[in-house]
A and B are shown apart, each in its own frame.
Chain A
Amino acid sequence: MDRVQQFINYYNGEPLIIQLVWIVACMLFFTTLIFIIYLKILRVKLRRNEKLITKFSKEYELLLVTYLYTESGEDGEISSEQKEVIDKLKESITNKFKREIVVLSFLKLTNEITGEMAESIYNLYANTKLKKYALAKLKSRKWDVIAGGIRELTLFHVKEAHDKVIKHVNHSKREVRKEVQLYLVNLFNFKGLNFLDDLKTPLSEWDQIQLLEELQKSEDQQIPDITAWLKSPNDYVVVFALKLAKIYNQFGMKEVLIDLLNHTSEKVRLELLPVLSYLHVLESKEVLKKDFNSRTKDEQIAIFKLLENLGETEDEPFILRHIHNSNFEIKFSALKILKDINIEKFRSFNLVPPESEFVKMVLFIENN
């Protein structure tokens, strides 16, 4: 006690700053101890969880596969073994930890198989009441819970949830909106794209790719009229519609597409040019050649890529004007096109001494 008293006296005599430092040092010391203990507990818990996850995963996988392989009754009734599986699962899923493992096990299959077996899994999902939990997530206030719920409903093809899901279509969080969009497209294919009509928020490239991939998987490949989307005030919708035009060979859209050549957004125009090329819209060439110089460098390069595909003899004068363009890619394209449309003219450029960059290019194109 004497020592402590000594220390307290010493402490009280020191300037404020030093006192503060003493306090901070002590706090930090105790924090260290707490953190170390916490670390130990955390690691033990994580290790235990992992073992449990492995154990339960195997169990549930087996249950699931058993369910899928026991013969069902005469008229599609559930067999007794299947009923057993359902009951076992119902019991487990009351526990959140186990529930997540069950869902994951199911999901490992749903991505890989289709047909009757996939349908069986969806039925099992409904029968074990897992659906109920996912729907409950939609009511949460936390955005990541809502998004997770929608995702699950998507993966298990729960079409009945449509009205509940669509309430979130204009959610403030991008991630939630994306899940809603994926839900709609995954389960309702092209009809699910109706959200594009009123979409006021951006649609990132990532999202677009996901949606397009989902669409390509559906059996129903009947694409609706995309004209409205091509004229949308939302540039992202236009870009998406252009992608659709290309993937689904929308040759009927020629006029609308040519109009888009004067769209205000460069992004749209850059997306448009390869589509025009792919759909063989020869009429676009005149417009492009006329206002070529007023377009950006990237557009100019894209225009030449288009001409590589659609170039004809009548384009020769234009091409010749650009075989010495300062930009490498345009020059290269121009020479390639020239080789296709007028091989003699092309060969005539071989005469200049071979060290020049230009002739190197000519020789390369000739030989490849």
Chain B
Amino acid sequence: MDTSTVNTILLIFHYLFFIYTVAVILSYIILGTISLIETNQYLKKNKFVNYKEILSSNISPSISIIAPAYNESLNIVENVRSLLSSHYVNYDVIIVNDGSKDDSLEKLIEVYNLVKVDYLVNEQIPTKPLREGIFKSTNPAFEKLIVIDKENGGKSDALNMGLNISKSQYTACIDVDCLLLEDALQKMIKPFLELTEVKVIATGGVIRIANACTIKDGKLLDVDMPKSMLERAQILEYIRSFLLGRMAWSKLNGLLVISGAFGMFDKKIAIEVGGYDTNTVGEDMEIIVRMRRHMEEEKRKYRVAYIPDPLCWTEAPDSHKIFISQRNRWTRGTIETLRKHRKIGLNPKYRSLGLVSFPFWFIFERMAPIIEVVGLIYFCVLMFLNALRWDYAFVFFIAAYFFTVVFSLVAILSEEHTYHQYKKKGTGIKLVITTFLEPFIFHPFVLYAAIRGNFDYIFNKNKKWGVMKRKGLVNKS
């Protein structure tokens, strides 16, 4: 290869990189703008919504909260209590004890006066069988509780059993240690009931990080900023992605994922598509993609909606090891889902799902860490060859850095304008400092985890969920 070909290749390479960067920036700006407009619209529309009627009405649709639990003995009693205190009339809580090796079941039986009941399960989705059986309470105050004890099969399998057992029209699939605010159910069900032209198949909620928040007896008493950079950076990241990302996708009807920590589904459709996939670690994304694909194939008009209100608070990883494990899993989940449904990519039959959402997710989510690493390697190579224009690198870096900072600040400002959850003095400064430090202290871990994810996906097929040590929300008083 002679010099001019090498130069041409390098030039193409440069241009591709440049185009990619511009595309990323443009996409952030477009999505951010649409998100802000949409959130504003949502707040206007819901300013005087009276949620009281829907919760006391016996015409309001039935909802089942399904919460899989594995070795959650430490906090399960309190978590269940919290789930039972939702302000909605027509719902039940299905706890699926997925073959726990601890005394979760015994604790529940004791505190909630449970007895085993005879139950005929409509096995619409194949699952691992029951173990101890199905339990209900003899105390009318806990009438809404159903506890299922089954053999271990993983989160998806547990959720599927919940779907089989539920007799409700809608199911809210939730992580058992998520703190659900009292009006979460009625806010989440609203899109299902409100849209007349299209069928809403699922709604997603915003996940807020509860680390350092005071939670007592299942009630969110105080919101505060955690001390560690890792946790703060996650808060910032969540605000960015929920307020400036997902709202836009919801508006464009392009949402590919609803957080596994809290999402509500039309049960019939969830079962129609076969429930959750037990072979993936990204079951929350996978089922949405599959449900959307199903609706496209059936040529039915549909929407996946999004509620920007803070409704669900959960614990984020506070150690780097667990964090990397979580992000690794997310990466593998994304790769698995995109690969499983690759048929829809750039396929006009699937309209915007295939032509917009899928390519976007593929290029800007799945491929992004790889492209970034390639860029870094290239940078290092140039450096070694002394071929680096330091001044170019400098200005590009400054521009990129401040773009990130500005974008994060926009996220923080929109959070202040809308929900203003972080009221304490000084949290503003903390968030700003986090914004400045994030690219240096947080982002490398995210990148590393993503690369590990890619690596594990290819070479380490047996890896599943990894470790998530439960500290529990309850003990932080």
Contact = CB atoms under 8 A, between A and B. Distances in A.
Interface of A: 10, 17-18, 21-22, 24-25, 28-29, 31-32, 35-36, 38-40, 42-43, 46-47, 50, 111, 144, 147-148, 151, 175, 179, 202-210, 212-214, 236, 243, 328-329, 332, 360-361, 364, 367-368
Given A25-B402, A206-B194, A243 B59 contact: yes
A111 B420 CA distance: 27
A368 B118 contact: yes
A252 B118 CA distance: 41
Nearest to B412: A39
- Which of B48, B118, B405, B420 lies at the interface centre, i.e. has the most chain A CB atoms within 10 A of its CB? B48
B426 to A, nearest CB: 10
Nearest to B431: A39
A125 to B, nearest CB: 17
Contacts of A10: 391
A214 B53 contact: yes
Contacts of A214: 53
Contacts, number: 106
A210 B412 contact: no
B428 A148 contact: no
B373 interface: no
Interface stretch (B150-158, B174-182, B247-255, B392-400): B392-400
B270 to A, nearest CB: 16
Given A35-B413, A210-B54, A47 B406 contact: no
Nearest to B52: A111
A25 B395 contact: yes
A28 B400 CA distance: 9
B66 to A, nearest CB: 19
Which 9 pairs of residues, A with B, have the shortest CB-CB distance?
Answer: A28-B402, A202-B196, A25-B399, A205-B193, A206-B193, A213-B53, A35-B409, A364-B120, A25-B398
A43 B428 contact: yes
Interface in B377-425: 391-392, 395-396, 398-399, 402-403, 405-406, 409-410, 412-413, 416-417, 420, 423, 425
| Interface secondary structure of B, over-half rule | helix
A35 B399 contact: no
A299 to B, nearest CB: 14
Nearest to B186: A206
B48 A151 contact: yes
B413 A204 contact: no
Interface in B166-213: 190, 192-197
Contact of B413 (A17, A29, A38): A38
B460 interface: no
B54 A209 contact: yes
Nearest to B53: A213
B255 to A, nearest CB: 21
Contacts of B193: 204-206, 209
B423 A205 contact: no
B44 interface: yes
B31 to A, nearest CB: 18
A332 B120 contact: yes
Contacts of B396: 21
Contacts of A364: 118, 120
Contacts of B196: 202-204, 236
B26 to A, nearest CB: 13
Nearest to A213: B53
B56 interface: yes
Contact of B416 (A32, A42, A206): A42
Contacts of A46: 416, 420, 423
Interface residues of B, number: 46
A28 B120 contact: no
Most B C-beta atoms less than 10 A away, residue of A18, A179, A243: A18
A61 to B, nearest CB: 20
Interface of B: 18, 44-45, 47-48, 50, 52-54, 56-57, 59-61, 118, 120, 122, 124, 190, 192-197, 391-392, 395-396, 398-399, 402-403, 405-406, 409-410, 412-413, 416-417, 420, 423, 425, 428, 432
B53 A360 contact: no
A21 B47 CA distance: 42
A144 B398 contact: no
Nearest to A38: B413
A10 B392 CA distance: 12
12 contacts: A21-B396, A22-B395, A35-B410, A42-B416, A46-B423, A50-B423, A205-B193, A208-B59, A213-B56, A332-B120, A361-B120, A364-B120
B414 to A, nearest CB: 11
B399 A32 contact: no
A204 to B, nearest CB: 5
Nearest to B41: A144
Contacts of A360: 120
A210 B50 contact: yes
A21 B391 CA distance: 12
Contact of A42 (B53, B194, B417): B417
B140 to A, nearest CB: 19
Contacts of B395: 18, 21-22, 25
A31 B425 CA distance: 24
B59 A209 contact: yes
Contacts of B195: 204
Nearest to A150: B48
A31 B406 contact: yes
Contact of A206 (B190, B423, B428): B190
Contact of B44 (A18, A144, A367): A144
Given A46-B420, A147-B48, A204-B193, 15 more contacts: A21-B396, A25-B399, A28-B399, A29-B398, A31-B406, A32-B409, A35-B409, A36-B432, A39-B409, A43-B428, A46-B416, A209-B59, A209-B193, A360-B120, A364-B118
A358 B66 CA distance: 28
A135 B303 CA distance: 37
A6 B99 CA distance: 72
A297 to B, nearest CB: 10
Given A46-B420, A148-B47, A328 B124 contact: yes
A40 B416 CA distance: 10
Nearest to A208: B59
A204 B60 contact: no
B409 A212 contact: no
A22 B392 CA distance: 9
Contacts of B61: 205
A214 B53 CA distance: 8
B437 to A, nearest CB: 14
A205 B391 CA distance: 61
Most buried by A among B120, B122, B396, B423: B120
Contacts of A39: 409, 412-413, 416, 428, 432
A367 B53 contact: no
Contacts of B399: 21, 24-25, 28
Contacts of A208: 59
Given A29-B402, A32-B409, A236-B196, A212 B54 contact: no
A46 to B, nearest CB: 6
B413 to A, nearest CB: 6
Nearest to B119: A364
A42 B409 CA distance: 13
A40 B54 contact: no
Contacts of B59: 208-209, 212, 243
Contacts of A29: 398, 402
Nearest to A235: B196
